[in-house]
Chains A and B, each alone.
Chain A
Amino acid sequence: MLSIKNLHATVADKPIIKGLTLDVPAGEVHAIMGPNGAGKSTLSYVLTGRAGYEVTDGTATLDGEDLLSLDPNERAARGVFLSFQYPLEIPGVPALTFIRAALNAQRKARGEPEVGAPAFLKLARETAASLKIDFDMLKRSLNVGFSGGEKKRMEIFQMAMLSPRFLILDETDSGLDIDALKIVAAGVNAMRSPDRAMLVITHYQRLLDYIKPDRVHVLSAGRIVASGGPELAHELEREGYDKYGKAA
Chain B
Amino acid sequence: MSLSTALRTGDLAELPSRRDEDWRWTDLRGLIRKIPPAYVYEGTGLAPEIMVEGQAGQIDFYRSPFNANRTVRVSNGMVAGLGLKEPGPLVFDRHDPVIALDVTNAGGGFSVHNRLTVRVPHGLSAVLLESHAGNGDHVVSFDLDIDLEEGASLERIVLVSDHAEAIVVRQSSVTLAATASYAQTVLTTGARRQRLETRIAHPGAQASVRLDGAYLLEAQRHADLTTVVTHGGVDGTTAQLTKGVVRDQARGVFQGRIVVERGADRTDARMRHQALILSEKAEIDAKPELLIFADDVQCAHGNTVGALDEDAIFYAMQRGLPSDRARAMLTAAFVGEVIDRIEHEGARAVALAWAQQQLGEL
Contacts and interface: CB of A to CB of B under 8 A. Distances in A.
B272 to A, nearest CB: 13
A105 interface: yes
Given A51-B314, A88-B315, A90-B312, A101 B321 contact: yes
A84 B320 contact: no
B319 interface: yes
A11 B325 CA distance: 27
A90 B330 contact: yes
Q: Which of A72, A76, A158 has the most CB of B within 10 A?
A: A72
A77 interface: yes
A98 B320 CA distance: 10
A101 to B, nearest CB: 6
Nearest to A107: B320
Given A87-B315, A92-B337, A93-B329, A102 B310 contact: no
A75 to B, nearest CB: 8
A101 B336 CA distance: 17
A108 B102 CA distance: 42
Nearest to A44: B318
Interface string A19-30: 000000000000
Interface residues of A, number: 31
A67 B186 CA distance: 46
Interface in B325-348: 325-326, 329-330, 332-334, 336-337
A90 B333 contact: yes
A240 to B, nearest CB: 32
A131 to B, nearest CB: 17
A190 B314 CA distance: 27
B327 to A, nearest CB: 12
A220 interface: no
Contacts of A93: 329-330, 333
Interface string B299-321: 00000000001111011111111
Nearest to B317: A72
Nearest to A76: B320
A71 B322 CA distance: 8
A73 interface: yes
A89 B316 CA distance: 10
B158 to A, nearest CB: 22
Nearest to B337: A92
B5 to A, nearest CB: 42
A225 interface: no
A88 B312 contact: yes
B336 A92 contact: yes
Nearest to B333: A92
Contacts of B329: 93, 98, 101
Given A51-B314, A90-B312, A105-B325, A99 B319 contact: yes
A162 B315 contact: no
Contact of A48 (B318, B322, B323, B332): B318
A170 B312 CA distance: 17
A68 to B, nearest CB: 15
A88 B320 contact: no
A171 to B, nearest CB: 16
Given A90-B333, A92-B334, A103 B320 contact: yes
Nearest to B336: A92
A73 B322 contact: yes
A109 interface: yes
A105 B333 contact: no
B322 A105 contact: yes
Given A93-B329, A101-B329, A88 B311 contact: yes
Contacts of B312: 88-90
Contacts of B310: 51
B336 A102 contact: no
A202 interface: no
Interface in A86-124: 87-93, 98-99, 101-103, 105-106, 109
Nearest to A143: B315
Q: Which of B318, B320, B321 has the most CB of A within 10 A?
A: B320
Contact of B320 (A90, A92, A109, A141): A109
Contacts of B337: 91-92
B336 A72 contact: no
A71 B333 contact: no
A50 interface: yes
A2 interface: no
B313 to A, nearest CB: 9
B323 A162 contact: no
Contact of B317 (A73, A98, A99, A141): A73
Contacts of A102: 316, 319-321
A17 interface: no
A162 B316 contact: no
Contacts of A73: 317-318, 320-323, 326
A98 B318 contact: no
9 contacts: A71-B323, A75-B318, A84-B315, A88-B311, A90-B315, A91-B333, A101-B321, A101-B325, A102-B320
Interface of B: 309-312, 314-323, 325-326, 329-330, 332-334, 336-337
9 smallest CB-CB distances across A and B, nearest first, come from A92-B333, A106-B320, A102-B319, A72-B317, A76-B320, A88-B315, A102-B320, A73-B317, A105-B320
Given A105-B321, A158-B319, 8 more contacts: A51-B310, A72-B318, A77-B320, A87-B315, A90-B330, A98-B319, A102-B316, A106-B320
